[in-house]
Chains A and B, each alone.
Chain A
C-alpha cells in the first residue's frame, strides 16, 4: 500500500493536487501545505469551531476531516470567503461592534454567521445564539458578536428592493 493518497481538489477557487499522508488532517493540510493559516487549530476535537471551513457549500469542522477524504471536493476557507467579498458587511459589523477581540475565533464565527444568514436571512436573537453555540470565543465577546450578526441581517433585509 502506498504511503500517500493522491487528491485533487479546489481550494478557494484554485485547483490543488497533492499526495497526502492518510493521517493528515484538513487543518494541517491548509496551514502547512497551502499556507492558509486563517483556519485555526484549537480544541482539535470538534468542540470550539475555530477550524470551521466550507466543504462543498456547507460549513464543517476542519479538524474532523482528513485531507485524504477530499478528492474532488471544493473547499473555501476564511481567506477565500473574505477575498470573494461575500463577508464584507459581516466583517465591517464585527469591526464596528468590537466583535473581534483577539481575533482567534473570528474566521470560524464569520463563516458560521454567513451560513446562518444564507439559511435564515432574518434570524431572531435566540436563533443567532443557537446557531453560533458551536463556536467558542474565549474573550467571551458573545454579545457583540450576536449584535453584529443581527445588525447585518437587518441591513441586508433593508437593502433588498
Chain B
C-alpha cells in the first residue's frame, strides 16, 4: 500500500522489499479530510504532514499534533508524507504513533469485510508492527479533544532526523497542581512507551516524575545511544517540556 511513500519507497529503492504488487492509495481523496465527528476529530489517513501542520482544526482540538508534526523530517518530506502512513509504518522513533497513543486516538481499519476500530494503544504491537491484518488498511484516526497543555520535546542530532528519544503528552492543571497527565515516549523501545507512574507523579513534583521514569522506562540501546543515555534524555525532555508548559500557563 503506497501512501506518501516516504518510508515505503526508500525500502523499495534499497531492495529491502520486493512486493509483486504495489497499490497507490493517493487518488482516494476522501481519506485526505480533517472533519469533526461529534466530540471527536477525524483525521484521514492520507492527510499530509504539511496539511496537518497548517490545520486550525487540529491546532484547536489536538495541539500536540500541530507541535509534533513540525519535528518530522524536512519540508519536502512533509509535503508528501501522510498521517496514516506514519501510523501504519509504526517506526519506534516516529512522533505520530506516540501522539496517537497520548491522545487516546481510535484508529479506523477497513477491509473488504468491513470496518473495525482499534485503540492506538493496542494498534502498535512492536517495531514496524501493528494490529493491521491481511487485506486491511488504516483509513482514519478519531481523536478526542486534548485534555491539557501540550508536552512535546525530542532530541535528535540534526533537525528532522529521527529522535534518539522523544516525549509526546499533555498535562492538565488544577491551579498550580498538575491534576492529570499523559506521557508517551518514542525512540526508547520497540513501540510508543507509556509512563503512567511518572505521569501521576507529576502531581507531586517534576523531580518525583523524573525519578519515576528511571524505574519505569526500559529503553533499548541502539547505534546512537545507550539505554542509560536514553533514560537520561527522557528525564531531560520531561523537564524541558514541563518548563515550556509552565511558561505558557503563566
Contacts and interface: CB of A to CB of B under 8 A. Distances in A.
A complexed with B: yes
Nearest to B48: A58
B74 A133 contact: yes
A61 B10 CA distance: 11
A44 B75 contact: no
Interface stretch (B76-84, B191-199, B224-232, B237-245): B76-84
A61 B77 contact: yes
Contacts, number: 71
A103 B68 CA distance: 34
Interface of A: 22, 25, 44-46, 49, 52, 55, 58-61, 63-66, 68-69, 112, 115-116, 119, 129-131, 133-135
Contacts of B26: 69
A44 B76 contact: no
B13 A60 contact: no
A49 B79 contact: no
A65 to B, nearest CB: 7
Given A58-B50, A133-B160, A134-B160, A64 B73 contact: no
Nearest to A5: B24
Interface in B13-37: 13-14, 22, 24, 26
Given A22-B22, A130-B159, A61 B14 contact: no
Contacts of A44: 10, 13-14
Given A130-B159, A134-B74, A65 B10 contact: no
Contacts of A134: 73-77, 160
B57 interface: no
A46 B9 contact: yes
A61 B76 CA distance: 6
A49 B76 contact: yes
20 contacts: A44-B13, A45-B14, A46-B6, A46-B77, A49-B76, A58-B79, A59-B76, A60-B76, A60-B79, A60-B80, A61-B6, A63-B13, A64-B6, A64-B80, A65-B80, A69-B26, A133-B159, A133-B160, A134-B76, A135-B74
Contacts of B74: 49, 131, 133-135
B160 A64 contact: no
A34 to B, nearest CB: 20
Q: What range describes how many residues of B lie at the interface? A: 20 to 34
Closest 7 CB pairs of A and B: A134-B74, A45-B10, A58-B79, A64-B9, A59-B76, A133-B159, A44-B13
Contacts of A131: 74-75
B81 to A, nearest CB: 9
Nearest to B10: A45
Interface in B97-118: none
**Chain A interface helix/strand/loop/mixed:** mixed
Contacts of B79: 55, 58-60
Contacts of A25: 13
Interface in B132-169: 158-160
A128 to B, nearest CB: 12
A157 B28 CA distance: 41
Contact of B76 (A22, A66, A69, A112): A112
A25 B9 CA distance: 9
A76 B10 CA distance: 22
Given A44-B14, A63-B9, A64-B10, 5 more contacts: A59-B75, A61-B80, A66-B5, A69-B2, A119-B75
A65 B76 contact: no
A130 B72 CA distance: 12
Contacts of B22: 22
A131 B70 CA distance: 11
A46 B26 CA distance: 19
A46 B14 CA distance: 11
Nearest to A132: B74
Contacts of B73: 134
Interface centre among A46, A52, A130 (most CB of B within 10 A): A46
